[in-house]
A = this chain, B = another copy of it.
Amino acid sequence: MKNKSITSRDIDFAAWYTDVVKAAKLASYSNVKGCIVIEPNGYEIWEKMQKTLDKMFKETGHKNICMPMLIPENLMRKEGELINGFAPEVAWVTTGGQKELEERMCIRPTSETLFSDYYSSIVKSYRDLPIKYNQWCNVLRWEKETRPFLRSREFLWQEGHTIHETQKEAEEETYNMLNVYRRFFEEYLAIPVITGRKTEKEKFAGAEYTLTIEALMYNGIALQSGTSHYFGQKFSKAYDISFLDRNNEKSYVYQTSWGVSTRMIGGLIMVHSDDNGLVLPPKIAPKQVVLVPIGKDSTVFELCNKYRDELLNAGITSYVDDTEKSPGFKFAEAEVNGIPVRIEIGERDLEQHKITFVRRDTREKIVEDININVAEYTKKLLDKIQENLYNIALQRQKQLTYECKNLDEVEKIMNTKPGFIKAMWCGDENCELKMKEIKGTKSRCILENDKHIDDKCIVCGRPAKHLVVWGIQY
């Protein structure tokens, strides 16, 4: 039985996506143009993501901090490339306290400038380094076209900003944080990612280079899911983040920044969910198990409560749906909300010593003897679901990754069943632009360690420098 409020994923993917967001009550459009309201079901996913990542950041030596949300124009302009990159999409505050401001301020689109200004005031000696700070906050970019979670004017994210004594340390940090992101995507979100370096054209404004994790959605479209930037000394020279080095001479720090955002919720939906609504990998699901009592028998309710307590004690987040709704309604709600495991217990089941588990990923019903160890069984089932979701996503990514040696192949693929294209590139931006003419296919990243598949650029035929993954992007 299909959820009638959700368009089929294979018929109209964009409509399916917004239907799932709405049906699972993750977010709704607000009357503030381009901004969404993240509703409780969506926000608790974000809280789980935050909690998990925050722990990973703290374990790797980072501390949280809170910077202002406004950036005075002069401060913003100190580093030229960044302001050029962001100028078209910032919002400016010009009036405060009923007076026109002498200097307008923008709402932060990202906080390199604020961190750099702050760091310049606190760093004196190499003994103060490294400094590895992160902040969880909202940012604003004046986007024209918006879509819940994937692109909205305001979004929530974390931005790590670190400064180091040496280039080596800063580059290591850039790669380490990319790996934290990769691990988070693979282990928790059950989303396989491709990692690599952005081309000059696609890198972050002001960065020496940008590393990225790229995920493939169900429909073969790519989602840039997290980035880690190496700045070298660009900002430290512009903002004078200098220190006395080990030789007692003035040096400039080497800097990084890295971020992931509520966009990850969009990725989660587009990789795992189906025509019945949201599907959440157990490790990121705010509620992992719902117990649904069927009938009015108090023994059934008591048993549900007992199992819930056993599950909670085993570290499995679970609750009993003891509302007045009908069992069918409860099943549908649990399904659309993506709760990984549903446990059904009815009066008749009691007589027959049965307990029913329903997997959200496969929608499979499993009937077990009521005397099994429910917590232990559920734990294993959740692990299986987590693994299965990852494997399906990985399988899909493999199927939709194509090695190409000429543009005709690319065109044919992008017109039928798009995905990741692996192809060689000479390094010339003109060839990137040529590729873009094929349905907007853009470079996702340069693969840094993979074996080259050809020695000629797929576009111009000149000697190739890099193996690049290409794709159509959100």
Chain A interfacial positions (CB closer than 8 Å to B): 28, 30-33, 35-40, 43-44, 46-47, 63-72, 75, 87-98, 104-105, 107, 114, 117-118, 121-122, 133, 137-138, 140, 142, 144, 154, 156
Indicate if the CB atoms of B70 and A32 lie closer than 8 Å. yes
Residues of B within 8 A of A96 (CB): 90-92, 142
Q: Offer 15 A-B interface pairs, CB within 8 angstroms, sorted by A.
A: A28-B118, A28-B121, A30-B117, A31-B117, A32-B68, A32-B114, A37-B118, A43-B63, A43-B65, A46-B66, A87-B98, A90-B96, A94-B94, A94-B95, A138-B138
Which one of A36, A40, A66 has the greatest number of beta carbons of chain B within 10 Å? Answer: A66
A91 lies within 8 A of B92 (CB)? no
- Distance of A67 Cα from B156 Cα, bound (Å): 11
Picked from B30, B36, B89, B93, the residue with its CB within 8 Å of the CB of A93 is B93
How many angstroms from the CA of A105 to the CA of B47 in the assembled complex?
A: 28
CB distance from A98 to the nearest CB of B (A): 6
Sorted from nearest, which 5 A-B pairs have the closest CB atoms?
A97-B142, A35-B68, A40-B63, A38-B66, A92-B95
List, in ascending order, chain B residues with CB within 8 A of A40's CB: 63-65, 133
Which residue of the partner chain B has the closest CB to A51? B51
Q: Is the CB of B64 within 8 A of A138?
A: no
**How many angstroms from the CA of A142 to the CA of B68 in the assembled complex?**
13
Task: Tell me which of B30, B105, B122, B137 contacts A67 (CB under 8 A).
Answer: B30
A36 partner residues in chain B, CB cutoff 8 A = 68
A97→B47 CA distance, assembly (Å): 30
Residue of B nearest to A131 (CB): B40
Q: A40-B63, A66-B38, A67-B37 are in contact. Are A97 and B138 (CB under 8 A)?
A: no
Return the contact of A65 from the options B39, B91, B105, B142 (Cβ within 8 A).
Answer: B39
Tell me if A69 and B140 are in contact (CB < 8 A). Answer: yes
- Please state if B142 and A69 are interface contacts (CB–CB under 8 Å): no
Contact B72 A31 (CB under 8 A): yes
Q: Which residues of B contact A43 (CB under 8 A)?
A: 63-66
CB distance from A75 to the nearest CB of B (A): 6
Cα of A156 to Cα of B67 in the assembled complex, Å: 11
- Say yes or no: A70 contacts B31, CB within 8 Å: no
Give the docked Cα–Cα distance between A71 and B44 (Å): 24
Known contacts A88-B97, A91-B93, A96-B92, A156 near B66 by CB under 8 Å: yes
> A89 near B94 (CB under 8 angstroms)?
no
A114 x B30 contact (CB < 8 A): yes
Known: A97-B144, A138-B138; 6 extra A-B contacts, CB below 8 A, are A28-B122, A32-B71, A43-B65, A68-B154, A70-B91, A93-B107
CA distance A144 to B92 in the complex (A): 20
The distance from the CB of A237 to the nearest CB of chain B, in whole angstroms, is: 18
The residue on B at minimum CB distance from A108 is B32
- Chain B residues contacting A156 (CB-CB under 8 Å) are 66
Could you say which residues of chain B place their CB within 8 Å of the CB of A38? 65-66
Nearest-neighbour CB distance to chain B for A105, whole angstroms, equals 7
Task: Kindly list chain B residues whose C-beta atoms are within 8 Å of the C-beta of A114.
Answer: 30, 32
> Could you tell me if B118 and A30 are in contact, using CB atoms closer than 8 angstroms?
yes
Which residues on B sit within 8 Å (CB–CB) of A142?
96-97
Expressed in whole angstroms, the minimum distance between the Cβ of A246 and any Cβ of chain B is: 15
Evaluate contact between B91 and A35: CB separation under 8 angstroms: no
Q: A105-B32, A142-B97 are in contact. Are A64 and B88 (CB under 8 A)?
A: no
Which B residue's beta carbon lies closest to that of A139? B69
Contact B69 A154 (CB under 8 A): yes
B35–A70 touching, CB < 8 Å: yes
Residues of B within 8 A of A64 (CB): 40, 43-44, 47
Q: Which residue of B lies closest to A33 (CB)?
A: B72
Kindly report which residue of chain B lies nearest to residue A103, judged by CB atoms. Answer: B33
CB-based contact A37/B68 at 8 Å: yes
Q: Which residues of chain B are near A68, meaning CB under 8 Å?
A: 30, 32, 35-37, 154
The residue of chain B having its C-beta at the shortest distance from the C-beta of A127 within the complex is B324
Question: Least Cβ distance of A317 to chain B in Å?
Answer: 12
B93 touches A97 (CB 8 A): no
Q: If the complex has contacts A37-B118, A107-B93, are A32 and B66 also in contact, measured as CB distance less than 8 A? A: no
Residues of B within 8 A of A90 (CB): 96-97
